[in-house]
Amino acid sequence: MSALNAPFVGRQGGRRAMATPALVVDLDALERNIAVMAAFARAAGLKLRPHAKTHKSVEIARRQIAAGAVGVCCAKLGEAEALAAGGIEGILITSPVVGPFGVERLAALAGRTPGLMAAVDHPDAVDALAASGAKLTLVVDIDPGIHRTGVADAVAALALAQRIAAAPNLTFAGVQFYCGMQQHIEDFILRREAIEERTSYLTDLVRQLTEAGLAPEIVTGGGTGTHRIDAALGAFTELQVGSYVFMDRQYNDCDLTGGGPPPFETSLMVDSRVISASHPFLVTVDAGFKAFATDGGPPPILAGAAEGATYRFMGDEQGCVIPPAGEAPPRLGEIVTFAAPHCDPTVNLYDAYHLVRGDTLVDIWPIEARGRSA
Amino acid sequence: MSALNAPFVGRQGGRRAMATPALVVDLDALERNIAVMAAFARAAGLKLRPHAKTHKSVEIARRQIAAGAVGVCCAKLGEAEALAAGGIEGILITSPVVGPFGVERLAALAGRTPGLMAAVDHPDAVDALAASGAKLTLVVDIDPGIHRTGVADAVAALALAQRIAAAPNLTFAGVQFYCGMQQHIEDFILRREAIEERTSYLTDLVRQLTEAGLAPEIVTGGGTGTHRIDAALGAFTELQVGSYVFMDRQYNDCDLTGGGPPPFETSLMVDSRVISASHPFLVTVDAGFKAFATDGGPPPILAGAAEGATYRFMGDEQGCVIPPAGEAPPRLGEIVTFAAPHCDPTVNLYDAYHLVRGDTLVDIWPIEARGRSA
């Protein structure tokens, strides 16, 4: 656990004594986010299988399941292996497992992980799994039009479901339909219109499967951006929401409720420290490209600098904090706290969460599946 | 070493049997790059202290030192701790060490690491190090005008050098001057003009220190983009070049020699695999935001797809490969190999290098300092 810098973090020293940059989670906010989504799904009569690609953490998966989730989703086989090793059950691997040893690894994982399921989108992959003889439960991944993964249309979906059902060792459990592109449409009405159109496509596809005697037991999909719309439309049996545990700038820019108060709070932060203060108009902090995902723009400042201060990346290791005109920058050694611009790839940079309640460091959790993209 | 997926990589299976995405290094090219830069520095009469923030690897640092380097640079204290634990000596920490336990960690590291040095840029930091009583060797970091780190001008540099020299436990070793912004000016002539102007500033500053009886023994700086210009101008005693070991798209776009052949080769790659092939016009590979740094644009395709094919990010876990009109995309399960758009933050995503000679996997090296940004 070298990355924890364990002797230097000093629980007794509290949050300000942490080595920086540090990935910080507000435990109160995390607990509320988990409870709010669990209550929402329960009230909507939907199962919850939160996506663990967001947090990659055994402890957070455990808490989601303790709050009522039927399991978690994992994006990759390696991620699923890491969480299963921590005792997590009910894992759905949402990306196709392809490549050497993929079948062997999947079969071995299924043998030791109750409730394991995997998504497939190609007849060759089904044939390889059928030939393995391993008992596997599969869902057919449907392309919602973004052309990332999934079979192209209802004809291909039906053919793949039949292929699965025909293999004695394979079980056809249902379909997956993840509208990734629609999650971040900031306007609620436009997002609902986009999802309504896609949902009618999904509903028709499910009807065709049902008429062919392959009624899907599981219809899984949805995300933090569309979970209320998805629940109202009623096509899914379970939701794959991920980012709600943390909330990032991208999702905070989305109206999730159609004008109501935001249901979730920002719980994920990066604490950085001023390491250079040679100029009156900016200071440098110890967090750059290696401390934040860079696909979501610069990170918003949450605390530690004057209102209106901004951050600019300054390379791999550093960034600068620029105070608004007339305001002084933070001083050498002071902490500046940021929200993540995009939570999933930011989490993937760190080996541990530092859990805080207020300014008190209360726990450190390893990020077991960090880097497990293979 | 969970991230190595050790049982599944299979050295006997060769490169195509690796779980993907995988960080791959062409060992022949790496060896040539290390040798070419070592020979260049030797011929120029310059010491080499390559920047290990690029590779974060004990084995690569060892090979650079075996080829003649006097040590390596590290960006952060944690990075230095990880490489020193692997036996690397002569480490210069190039960013100011600030914050709780920083002094204790630096003192402890200096006690067990021959030749350790650290950069400072603030009188408060010097006072804290002086008060610790630990024997430390320091260089004064000079801001070359990018306002990232470093003292603001010659007056501040002289004052800080005098402050160091006045402390009985501290040794003033010299100055650091890293022109980060100039490294990537693609045109050689424009880059040389920019560096000439900055070098005259540095030379004048060194003259003032010398006249004050504080002649710097070490003048350290330079990068892969400017190493030939720096050597010709003669202001440095040693070079901090980093990216030359790997070369990425950003540096491949730079003319490093003023019209001559490129002295270094691309040795760093990411192998990905086609995991979805439902459409004739694109296929999806298993490498997205978690597999490539995203600050440098999309990664160039090196192999595995038709000439002219392009990559587009499709979220955290995947991207798509789009063949040119009239060409077929790669097939399900096939490998597509990419160059890194920007090497340092791409390396920071992976736990190991997969070393290849041609298509044969010959070794796996851990990336000991991955994630050690604190």
**Cα separation, A41 vs B272, whole angstroms:** 36
CB contact under 8 A, B3 and A348: no
CB contact under 8 A, B373 and A82: no
Contact residues, chain B, for A13 at CB < 8 Å? 100
Mutation site for A-interface testing, chosen from B16, B94, B98 by largest number of A Cβ within 10 Å? B98
Question: Using an 8 Å Cβ cutoff, are A141 and A120 in contact?
Answer: yes
Residue B221 has pLDDT above 80, yes or no: yes
Q: How far is CA A100 from the centre of its chain?
A: 26
**Cα separation, B122 vs A283, whole angstroms:** 12
What does pTM read for this prediction? 0.95
B346-354 mean pLDDT = 97
Nearest to B2 among A82, A149, A152 (CB): A82
Predicted pLDDT of residue B248: 87
Give the model confidence (pLDDT) of B274-288 as tens digits: 999 999 999 999 999
Contact residues, chain B, for A10 at CB < 8 Å? 100-101
**Rounded to the nearest 10 degrees, how much is the dihedral formed by the CA atoms of B345, B349, B350, B351?**
110
Distance from CA of A373 to the nearest CA of B (A): 7
Q: Which residues 6+ apart lie within 8 Å of A12 measured at CB?
A: none
Q: Which of B106, B37, B27 is closest to B74 using CA atoms? A: B106
Count of beta carbons in the 10 Å neighbourhood of residue A110: 22
Instruction: Extract the tokens encoding A276.
Output: 């250079």
Question: Using an 8 Å Cβ cutoff, are A226 and A179 in contact?
Answer: yes
Mean pLDDT check: name the lowest of B71-80, B191-200, B263-272: B191-200
Contact residues, chain A, for B315 at CB < 8 Å? 148, 180
Count of beta carbons in the 10 Å neighbourhood of residue A333: 18
Q: Which residues 6+ apart lie within 8 Å of B237 measured at CB?
A: B46, B47, B174, B217, B218, B219, B220
Predicted pLDDT of residue B7: 36
Predicted pLDDT of residue A14: 75
Instruction: Extract the tokens encoding A27.
Output: 């435990």
**Cα separation, B128 vs A82, whole angstroms:** 42
**Cα separation, B372 vs B348, whole angstroms:** 9
Distance from CA of A18 to the nearest CA of B (A): 7
Count of beta carbons in the 10 Å neighbourhood of residue B94: 27
Predicted pLDDT of residue A100: 81
Q: Are strands B117-120 and B301-303 parallel, antiparallel or unpaired?
A: unpaired
CB contact under 8 A, A100 and B10: yes
CB contact under 8 A, B294 and A291: no
**Rounded to the nearest 10 degrees, how much is the dihedral formed by the CA atoms of A152, A154, A160, A165?**
160
Residue B2 has pLDDT above 80, yes or no: no
Contact residues, chain B, for A18 at CB < 8 Å? 100
**Cα separation, B293 vs B243, whole angstroms:** 14
Nearest to A279 among B147, B315, B342 (CB): B147
**Cα separation, A40 vs A158, whole angstroms:** 32
Predicted pLDDT of residue A6: 39
Predicted pLDDT of residue B250: 85
Distance from CA of A23 to the nearest CA of B (A): 11
**Cα separation, B141 vs B145, whole angstroms:** 12
Predicted pLDDT of residue A13: 57
β-bridge mates for residue B140, sequence order: B120, B175
DSSP string, B125-153: HHHHHHHH---EEEEEEB--SS-SSSBSS
B244-261 mean pLDDT = 90
Instruction: Extract the tokens encoding A197.
Output: 């159109």
B154-161 mean pLDDT = 98
Contact residues, chain B, for A103 at CB < 8 Å? none
B225-243 mean pLDDT = 95
Would you tell me the crossing angle of helices A154-166 and A188-211 to the nearest 10 degrees? 50
**Cα separation, B24 vs B340, whole angstroms:** 10
CB contact under 8 A, B148 and A284: yes
Would you tell me the crossing angle of helices B77-85 and B102-112 to the nearest 10 degrees? 30
Question: Using an 8 Å Cβ cutoff, are B177 and B233 in contact?
Answer: no
CB contact under 8 A, A19 and B318: no
β-bridge mates for residue A270, sequence order: A23, A338
**Cα separation, B69 vs B46, whole angstroms:** 10
Closest-CA residue of B relative to A142 is B278
Mutation site for A-interface testing, chosen from B24, B77, B290 by largest number of A Cβ within 10 Å? B290
Q: Which of A301, A298, A307 is closest to A326 using CA atoms? A: A307
Contact residues, chain B, for A243 at CB < 8 Å? none
Q: Is the dihedral of CA A190, A193, A196, A197 positive or negative?
A: negative
Predicted pLDDT of residue B13: 57
Report which of residues A275 and B3 the model is more confident about: A275
Q: Running DSSP on this structure, what letter comes out for residue A142?
A: B
Q: Which residues of chain A have pLDDT under 50?
A: 1-11
Nearest to A147 among B22, B151, B279 (CB): B279
**Cα separation, A311 vs A283, whole angstroms:** 10
Nearest to A105 among B8, B100, B291 (CB): B8
**Cα separation, A301 vs A288, whole angstroms:** 14
Distance from CA of A345 to the nearest CA of B (A): 6
Give the model confidence (pLDDT) of B86-110 as tens digits: 999 999 999 999 988 999 999 999 9
B157-162 mean pLDDT = 98
User: Which 3 state secondary structure label does DSSP give A300?
Assistant: coil
Nearest to B148 among A82, A274, A315 (CB): A315
Contact residues, chain A, for B97 at CB < 8 Å? 275
